[in-house]
Structure 1
Amino acid sequence: MKHGIILAPMEGLVDAPLRDILTRIGGIDRCVSEFIRVTEGPLNVGSIRRIVPESLHGWKTAAGVPVHPQLLGSDPDWLGHNAALLAELGAPAVDLNFGCPAKTVNRHRGGATLLREPDTLHRIVAAVRAAVPADIPVTAKMRLGYSDTSLTLECASALATAGAAEIAVHARTKVEGYKPPAHWEWLARVRESVSVSVIANGDVNDVADYQRIREISGCEQVMIGRGLVACPDLGQGIRAMHRSAPPVLMSWSDLRPWLIDFYRQVRLRTADRHAPGRLKQWLGFLARNYPEAQLLFDQVRRQTCADTLQTLLETGAREAA
């Protein structure tokens, strides 16, 4: 897919309601789900449906954007078994997480900690590739390494030679987390070292970043996470750039109805005691680009009642209109 924009998987942030909102705003070609953790056993179909409810609708968001499920774990056999289950449920692809930097995940031998074990990466991808039909791509996401880049190219090669159809690379190590800068020059080195498609990821916050990461990395496709959360119409701006058209920037009054829709969806999926936190979390990201989001965040910062927060949100929207 030329010029593809992929919405990154971000545990606890880019969930089904946010995928729905961002893909309806537009400019996104594909999503990868939050990770589905695989231990030593088969997954419960209900758990899959909860994390990826789009699986009930052809593995697409309401806007028709495909959602690829992501598995996280370290046991090749059980990852293969559960990848086969996803294939049976109609998943269009199976993605594997070798990039999560979370301490809890890494402590249980998941995510980026496996970047210290290229042979394990190869075994996992090979097992999953063997377990699913040939027409279902197996893909992977990695970082540049755990604490350094000494194994970066070896890890990428392990994924590619085992059968990964494409590799998304976040241009930092696990230890670096999300601290700037992202090392985009390493994306070019990875791309040149493997024969499969490499997707650039890391610190794309505006159209200029998108242009620079593609120029430096040589990658056609770009995966964006926090940049799209903070600037929901970034994908549309990138599309406008490719058409040589002036971007139409979304105003706060344009965005606020989407925020209300998001919160309503969150409340349908989340206990009321947790719902306000999800709204505040997104407002915190939006405040990077919208001063009004910061004002609203300050207004609801100490509000813990889900009903009251919804009233404040909706009343404010009517007043703004």
Structure 2
Amino acid sequence: MRIFLAPMEGVVDQHVRALLTDLGGIDGCVTEFVRVTDHLLPEKVFRRYCPELQTDCRTPSGTPVRIQLLGGKPGPMAANAARAAALGAATIDLNFGCPAKTVNKNDGGARLLQQPERVGGIVAAVRNAVPKSTQVTAKIRLGFEDKSRYLDNALAVFEAGADELVVHARSKKDGYRPPAYWEYIGSIRENIAIPVIANGEIWSVSDYRRCRQLSGCEDVMLGRGLLACPDLARQIKTAAGTANCTPLTWGRICQLLFDYYLQTKALYPGKFLGNRVKQWLVYLRLRYPQAIEFFEAIKRHRDAAAIESVFQRHLQAFQT
């Protein structure tokens, strides 16, 4: 069983990757997507999206990090993949799943799923451009407007030489609305001979079990579920008998949030101070009732002293 932390643009940066992987249970991470157009990007862009390049593409706790590229042209995607590999990336991940309108309007993400031959062309170009020792992985959805070509796209990724495939079990049109159609992933697994990782709508241990039953996948990728429950990966592995942990208390979660606030404080001065913490609290409210009160207490504050005062009250009240 492997559990991966999904990339989430504007949410899962190197700080979140470090904090969540330090809790344990996570076997790999993927960066936010590096947008590729017509040009070879400078080294500093890759290092900005993946500061872990300085540490052998691993978080401080040693968890591997994959660099994700997004774009619609084989040539530039291949050239930028080669540069990322030369900088030390052990795995290049290709994004064919992003549902964002801006991305799709600019010939990227899930839009490419309308043309499986283009998906395969990009995967093949990248595979040929990087060393054999560099893994090439891809992430798809089940389709764009519908799910009719889900298997065509999976086969295109496989036949083009990818080492692994992540499948978000919804179409672009489905967005993030439940349910996730995990049974389609089971069909994909029966037709391709590379590892398949299930993604989408896994919020709990019971969700994981049902996903595994319908998809046949032991390996999963968690996104919003891990933000709502930061130790969900450990809980899944504990339930499966491969780890041993007790669920985190709100006191521990609050300390985690405070550490995140301190790490990112200098990055978001003035009117943006605390925005990342507030964003994370939106997810935590789904699992922890105390996060609702915390969010209400902090949501209008922009002053460091006021924000830190709220933290101190909650840390004192719930610390274990």
Structure 2 length normalisation: TM-score? 0.96
Counterpart position of 2:61: 63
Residues 1:173 and 2:193 aligned together: no
Whether the aligned pair in 1 keeps the contact of 2:234 and 2:243 (CA below 8 Å) is no
1:113 maps to which of 97, 111, 114: 111
Within 1, Cα distance between the matches of 2:290 and 2:43? 41
Q: CA RMSD in A?
A: 1.5
Counterpart position of 1:218: 216
Percent identity of paired positions between Structure 1 and Structure 2? 45
Whether the aligned pair in 2 keeps the contact of 1:260 and 1:314 (CA below 8 Å) is no
Counterpart position of 1:152: 150
Counterpart position of 2:277: 279
- Tell me the SS of whatever aligns to 1:34: coil
Counterpart position of 2:4: 6
Residues 1:37 and 2:56 aligned together: no
1:44 positional shift:
2.1
Within 1, Cα distance between the matches of 2:132 and 2:44? 26
Segment of structure 1 superposing worse, 107-116 or 40-49: 40-49
Counterpart position of 1:236: 234
1:41 positional shift:
0.6
1:319 positional shift:
4.8
1:195 maps to which of 193, 196, 202: 193
1:18-33 to structure 2, matched below 5 A, reads 18-33=16-31
Within 2, Cα distance between the matches of 1:6 and 1:98? 17
- Tell me the SS of whatever aligns to 2:118: helix
1:243 positional shift:
1.6
Within 2, Cα distance between the matches of 1:272 and 1:27? 36
Counterpart of 1:308, as a letter, is A
1:310-321 to structure 2, matched below 5 A, reads 310-321=308-319
Within 1, Cα distance between the matches of 2:243 and 2:42? 47
Alpha-carbon displacement from aligned partner over 1:92-136 (angstroms, at most 9, x marks no partner): 100000000011111101100000011111110011001000011
Counterpart of 2:71, as a letter, is G
- Tell me the SS of whatever aligns to 1:68: strand
- Tell me the SS of whatever aligns to 1:22: helix
Report how many aligned residue pairs link the two structures. 319
Within 2, Cα distance between the matches of 1:54 and 1:41? 23
Structure 2 portions without partners, runs of 5+: none
Within 2, Cα distance between the matches of 1:48 and 1:307? 35
Whether the aligned pair in 2 keeps the contact of 1:273 and 1:306 (CA below 8 Å) is no
| Cα distance change, pair 47–273 in 1 and its aligned pair in 2 (3 A) | farther
1:233 positional shift:
0.8
Segment of structure 1 superposing worse, 44-53 or 112-121: 44-53
1:161 maps to which of 159, 162, 176: 159
1:306 positional shift:
4.4
| Cα distance change, pair 216–314 in 1 and its aligned pair in 2 (3 A) | same
- Tell me the SS of whatever aligns to 1:140: strand
1:318 positional shift:
3.6
- Tell me the SS of whatever aligns to 2:31: strand
Segment of structure 1 superposing worse, 309-318 or 202-211: 309-318
Whether the aligned pair in 2 keeps the contact of 1:230 and 1:285 (CA below 8 Å) is yes
Within 2, Cα distance between the matches of 1:27 and 1:244? 9
Show structure 1 runs of 4+ deviating over 6 A: none
Within 1, Cα distance between the matches of 2:272 and 2:219? 35
Within 2, Cα distance between the matches of 1:270 and 1:53? 18
- Tell me the SS of whatever aligns to 2:33: strand
Counterpart position of 1:303: 301
1:35 positional shift:
0.5
Whether the aligned pair in 2 keeps the contact of 1:156 and 1:194 (CA below 8 Å) is yes
- Tell me the SS of whatever aligns to 2:296: helix
Within 2, Cα distance between the matches of 1:249 and 1:17? 22
- Tell me the SS of whatever aligns to 2:297: helix
| Cα distance change, pair 317–181 in 1 and its aligned pair in 2 (3 A) | same
Counterpart of 1:186, as a letter, is Y
- Tell me the SS of whatever aligns to 1:160: helix
Within 2, Cα distance between the matches of 1:166 and 1:208? 25
